[in-house]
Amino acid sequence: MAAGGYTGRILRVQLGEGNFKVEKLPPEWIRDYIGGDGFAAKLLYEEVPARCDPLSSHNKLIMSTGPITGTLWPMSGRTVFVSKAAQTGIWGESHVGGFIGPELKYAGYDMLVIEGQSDKPVYILIEDSNLQILDAGKFWGMKTHEVTAAIKREHCDPDIQIAAVGPAGERKVRFSSLIINNARAAGRTGMGAVLGAKNVKAIAIRGHGAVEVNDHEAFTKLAKAAHMRVRTNPQAQEMGKWGTWILTAVKQEIGELPTYNHRTGVFPGWEKLSGDYIRPRYTISDRACFGCSLGCKKMNYVREGPFAGTLGEGPEYEGLMAFGSNLGIADYPTTLKANQICNEYGMDTISAGATIGFAFEAFENGLITTKDTGGLQLEWGDSQTVIELLEMMGKREGFGDILAEGSRAAAKRLGRGTEQYAIHVKGLEVSGQDGRTHRSIALGHATGARGADHLRSLVVVDQLGYEKVARERWGADKLPEIIDPYTEKYKATAVVESENAYCIRDTLIVCWYSVSWPPIFWMKDFADMLPLATGEKSLGDVKNLTRIAERQVTLKRLFNTREGITRADDNLPRRFTHDPMPEGPGKGQTVDLEPMLDDYYRLRGWDLETGLPTEQKIRSLSLEWTKKYAPSH
């Protein structure tokens, strides 16, 4: 019998053979990895060969849940997709909310592993024990909302949960995403391209089972109290009203709102991208993911102007930044339309917007011309050009075919010094933060396993002045430096401990909001809850949870190590380390990365010179088994 919170089963889809295989979840995985991207990291490291092409049949796409996915615990509706990343060629993961994670659990599976490659377009149907690989020829070429509606009609079930590949994934756009039920995106690192390369158009899941926890009465009591903590938190209440748009004003105030391809952190038109402006003019309803007490999703409608009739969720803060301030556009309807196009084609909004920003700045400086763009004039603030470029990227047409590779690859192809305007780390474009005004995110971007990551180690406590929380987590002796966003001191401590907590968050799996910001739940809360959910007493020890987190962070690093990643790759765009912030509260600031890297490696037990995990650290975390899968030279 499976431990509480788990189905105890892994479902494999073997595309080459055209069949399914159900395996037992190894019980030791629960003790050592808990779930979510912990399970996925173990499987990916063992089964995907080093240095393989991410778009080849050797790569695998993993969908993984955690022990509280689909339970009463707040924000427990998330799931993670993991693969060798199509965009970067290293570790790839993308988390998504909605309802598809719980649906997989209700169908009777903790993990879905898609392997091999189909010789024709197909979609995967999972309905409890009814497992089918079905022809998708008539769906190929459809946008994500079209194929989602078509599959629901095909099976006469409006509640079936669908992860769809759009035209961008079919054409292997490197930053193509998976779109879940039209609006939720497993956006980053190119999961859509991985699935598209396998000729899979969609994954359709319907379950009629339940998730049984170990101690139902005690778990339910704790979960109800946890929901109340969310509902009564002032910051959570504000997030529920304004969504992530609340961050626009915050970022502008502290001078960290990426503007003109991260050239500055202050945007004159920020007010038209703020929640105060957007909600009364465009929002028509509020929405929430499974089990959420916060409800940050907003449905919006444009009534007039060039994009009149545009209806859709979002965009989140990152989309507002990517298609707004970072491109010099002070117009919410443009960002909603751009977000809609990305969802329909299946493209990551952050990378799409940042790659356009790269092109705009290179064009501004004469490094690319209309000869490259097919006659397009690329100018800051030009909404129509942004929309046109997104369509071209999704279709891989003209100049869009170059941009569809992402900013790093596009710059390499174009040359001529354009590389300086590709704002990325390890091939993943930088999100809506700036290390010049927030030193801990500089370190987080540099060391992130998937590249410039704002979700695995972003420290909010330091930047927003949560002094009481900082004192409780890291000690009064580290104040005030640890919450000073302009100093490198103690930032590695904040990043490592946050990364550890977020790692456990991503094994459960619960949402970023309520753990990262607002800072409601932390490691002690997870330790109190996990034994009630699973029955595994060792998961009730914070020290053991920390060790599990360290194991997973180091395992992801070992995955990247065999792909050639070293300390030299833990870097930042020159813009952040050499170009002083030109204005705002952080005027004159740059990032001194190397001392923070030294501190981070010391705390992680990684070699200071190479950035690789030491033999002692590998043994201490029981990761000796990884040597069996190291590449032969």
pLDDT band at 3 (very low <50, low <70, confident <90, very high): confident
User: Residue 611: what pLDDT?
Assistant: 97
CA nearest to 57, candidates 111, 114, 120: 114
424: Cα separation from own chain's centroid: 15
**Separation of alpha carbons 396 and 413, rounded Å:** 15
Whether omega for the bond prior to residue 565 falls within 30 degrees of 0, making it cis, is: no
pLDDT band at 463 (very low <50, low <70, confident <90, very high): confident
CATH 3.60.9.10 in the chain: give the residue spans.
9-206
DSSP 567: G
**Separation of alpha carbons 325 and 319, rounded Å:** 10
At 297, phi and psi to the nearest 5?
-80, 140
User: Residue 2: what pLDDT?
Assistant: 77
CA nearest to 340, candidates 149, 179, 173, 200: 179
What are the pLDDT digits (tens) for 193-220?
Answer: 999 999 999 999 999 999 999 999 999 9
User: Residue 283: what pLDDT?
Assistant: 98
Q: Which residues contact 622 (CB under 8 A, 6 or more apart)?
A: 32, 551
Residue 169 in this model has a pLDDT that exceeds 80: yes
The b/e string for 301-333 (b: 16+ C-beta within 10 A; e otherwise) is bbeeeebeebebbbbbbbbbbbbbbbbbbbbbb
Residue 631 in this model has a pLDDT that exceeds 80: no
Averaged pLDDT score across all residues of the chain: 97
Do 310 and 255 touch, CB atoms closer than 8 A? no
Name the token pair of 160: 């079936």
* Residue in this structure with the two tokens 């078509």, named with its chain if needed: 150
What are the pLDDT digits (tens) for 263-317?
Answer: 999 999 999 999 999 999 999 999 999 999 999 999 999 999 999 999 999 999 9
* Kind and range of the H or E run holding 24: strand 19-24
Q: Can you state the angle between helices 439-447 and 491-508, rounded to 10 degrees?
A: 60
Rounded to 5°, angle at Cα 269 from 267 and 270: 70
- Please state the rounded mean pLDDT for residues 600-624: 98
Name the token pair of 358: 């790269």
What are the pLDDT digits (tens) for 349-369?
Answer: 999 999 999 999 999 999 999
What are the pLDDT digits (tens) for 389-408?
Answer: 999 999 999 999 999 999 99
Q: Residue 543, SS3?
A: helix
Q: Of all residues in the chain, what percent are helix, strand and coil, respectively (each to 5)?
A: 45, 15, 40
Residue 633 in this model has a pLDDT that exceeds 60: no
At 299, phi and psi to the nearest 5?
-95, 130
- Please state the rounded mean pLDDT for residues 152-168: 98
**Separation of alpha carbons 15 and 123, rounded Å:** 10
Question: What number of other Cβ atoms are within 10 A of residue 57's Cβ?
Answer: 15
User: Residue 632: what pLDDT?
Assistant: 59
What are the pLDDT digits (tens) for 467-508?
Answer: 999 999 999 999 999 999 999 999 999 999 999 999 999 999
* 433-629, CATH topology level: 1.10.599
Q: Residue 325, SS3?
A: helix
**Separation of alpha carbons 254 and 557, rounded Å:** 32
Please name the amino acid found at residue 136: A
User: Residue 1: what pLDDT?
Assistant: 55
**Separation of alpha carbons 88 and 418, rounded Å:** 19
The CATH class given to the 9-206 domain equals: alpha beta
* Residue in this structure with the two tokens 């030009």, named with its chain if needed: 382
User: Residue 465: what pLDDT?
Assistant: 79
CATH 1.10.599.10 in the chain: give the residue spans.
433-629
**Separation of alpha carbons 389 and 251, rounded Å:** 27
DSSP string, 45-75: HHHSPTT--TTSTT-EEEEE--TTTTSSSTT
- Please state the rounded mean pLDDT for residues 433-439: 97
| Integer Rg of the chain from CA | 23
CA nearest to 506, candidates 35, 190, 8, 27: 35
The b/e string for 409-421 (b: 16+ C-beta within 10 A; e otherwise) is bbbeebeeebbbb
* Kind and range of the H or E run holding 593: helix 593-604
Residue 226 in this model has a pLDDT that exceeds 60: yes
Alpha-carbon dihedral 455, 456, 462, 464, rounded to 10 degrees: 20
> For the sheet containing 111-115, what is the strand order?
19-24, 9-14, 111-115, 60-64, 79-84, 91-96
Residue 563 in this model has a pLDDT that exceeds 70: yes
Do 368 and 423 touch, CB atoms closer than 8 A? no
Share of the chain above pLDDT 70, in %: 100
User: Residue 464: what pLDDT?
Assistant: 81
User: Residue 525: what pLDDT?
Assistant: 98
Do 128 and 208 touch, CB atoms closer than 8 A? yes
Share of the chain above pLDDT 90, in %: 97
Q: Does the structural domain 252-422 have CATH classification 1.10.3720.10?
A: no
Q: Which residues contact 366 (CB under 8 A, 6 or more apart)?
A: none
Q: Which residues contact 135 (CB under 8 A, 6 or more apart)?
A: 120, 121, 122
Reduce the secondary structure of 458-524 to three states and give it as a string: CCCCCCCCCHHHHHHHHCHHHCCHHHCCCCCCCHHHHHHHHHHHHHHHHHHCCCCCCCCCCCCCCHH
What are the pLDDT digits (tens) for 68-106?
Answer: 999 999 999 999 999 999 999 999 999 999 999 999 999
